Structure 1
């Protein structure tokens, strides 16, 4: 039986592009090149959706958005999905007409500090001004972590990642607080990265996830299974099989998703497996060298556990 109420999928095909909300620029996740192109793990997820839905991983309209507007732009109908450093929380899914289709990257909020300050733990930042991004959960996370220890800090909210980093870099703030993976990208953009370090301690759980509106279950299924295929294809290779065989298996269900039988092969052609996406954007070859950690497959001690593709 073919399930066909995919109004969003129909609209995407009529438009010829997937409209994707992304960050305003975070290396490793979603970063513009100044010529209309974007790179990063989040943008590769959007390309994977476009490859499955439209047959072209490049058919994406990028919508860089302030943190506070990441879901508003989606729920207003101006975007088809949100893929940026947006954490999946009960509050967001309960208050907003959205569903999270799956975790793209597991992370936690951390601190970028100056090496010369010899800070080894967040508690040493008590009483200091800390740069944050407006519209994020950072202020609440800071209040919870420091408050539980009888300590206080002064969050200073900036409108954009660039302004927050500048507020740290010019000495206005003692640290920059953001998801640790995003901080690795921010550190790499500073004139002397070796003069700065991301602390090991994470003060929160930040499962960054792909979000869609809750009014179209068929589009939700497409996006969820695009993510699951990325992880499942890496798992197939890890277990001694092949990503192409996994694509053949997943492809059989394409018509029931409103796609065709080659949708998963197109994802491989566009971005590869989840492992390829991570290595290209966050691994050693990216210049960031962010270890897989929780983002490894479950068989390697991580949290990515692929659902069966049969």
Structure 2
């Protein structure tokens, strides 16, 4: 393969000049993006931002975290105060068609669900008809509720709150009979309650919510860089799976080498992929420590498994 000089990209140049990636995250949802007591951000979304920083800057911690309310998760991109949004944000035609943004890839397949009190006797969303339910302003929850209940000749009364903390408080206070949000995010919200075991997430999902990383639409090379960082995480998991436990290290090194060979074409060097995997591990490792059994949340991977195990994540070839 002919050796190429790294391509230039205005966004990557700006990130390097600043020495940090500016990433939009939530104001605190366990498992997705949440700061610890010492200010370290954790979660699946936070680790995706770290992976991009590792590729672009060589330092996974070179991230300026920009906590945002749900209604304001895209504005920092087109206002040029952020380069990446990883904020439990659903990829929709409406968002991509009407705003100057592109979605670089799905980080987590999800669906909206309901958090209810264990002693409420509620087993199905239909039992909430006529009741008040807490939703975050700026999400797709109200539209999803109208669609699901409307098809059944039913309705609920959505009560909007500006932030996740306010929404959780509205539910916890008893003002609302349920909290409606992506089911993965609800697992983290449930864990924040004083007695998590007194609440449960209903089995029914009422929508499709492919949470995705977003960038501005005016820099194709930056979009390509972010998309392939995410694809690397999935492809490396696939390589490791095919190799089996005994061949894991060799398989990850091979995946890093395959992706690294194309570094110059996306503005990076040949070691970018190795840096990413050293910093965050594969998608499986990111999911397990943030949402899986190791996290204390125990959210099954389900649709977030690789396609070889019945999930929706398909590993795009690296070579």
Which residue is equivalent to 2:273? 264
* Residue 129 of structure 1 pairs with residue 132 of structure 2: yes
* Residue 233 of structure 1 pairs with residue 236 of structure 2: yes
Give the distance between the partners of 2:123 and 2:152, measured in 1 at CA: 17
Which residue is equivalent to 2:26? 23
Match of 2:293 among 284, 294, 300: 284
- CA RMSD between the two structures: 0.9
1:101-130, Cα deviation, whole Å (9 max, x unpaired)? 000000000000001011111000000000
Q: Which moved more, 1:187-196 or 1:218-227?
A: 187-196
- TM-score by length of structure 1 reads 0.99
Which residue is equivalent to 1:143? 146
8 A Cα contact 1:283 1:289, kept in partner:
yes
8 A Cα contact 2:7 2:264, kept in partner:
no
* Residue 78 of structure 1 pairs with residue 81 of structure 2: yes
Match of 2:193 among 190, 213, 216: 190
Give the distance between the partners of 2:141 and 2:253, measured in 1 at CA: 41
Structure 1 position 96, deviation (Å): 0.5
Which residue is equivalent to 2:44? 41
Which residue is equivalent to 1:243? 252
Superposed structure 1 runs of 4+ greater than 2 Å apart: 1-5
Structure 1 position 152, deviation (Å): 0.9
8 A Cα contact 1:2 1:257, kept in partner:
no
Q: Give unmatched runs, 5+ long, in structure 2.
A: none
8 A Cα contact 2:6 2:263, kept in partner:
no
* Residue 101 of structure 1 pairs with residue 104 of structure 2: yes
8 A Cα contact 1:22 1:64, kept in partner:
yes
Give the distance between the partners of 1:2 and 1:203, measured in 2 at CA: 48
1:2-43, Cα deviation, whole Å (9 max, x unpaired)? 462410000000000000000111000000113321000000
Aligned residues: 310
Match of 2:262 among 238, 253, 261: 253
Give the distance between the partners of 1:228 and 1:83, measured in 2 at CA: 15
* Residue 158 of structure 1 pairs with residue 126 of structure 2: no
- TM-score by length of structure 2 reads 0.96
Q: What secondary structure is seen at the aligned counterpart in 2 of 1:239?
A: helix
Which residue is equivalent to 1:116? 119
Q: What secondary structure is seen at the aligned counterpart in 2 of 1:112?
A: strand
Q: Give unmatched runs, 5+ long, in structure 1.
A: none
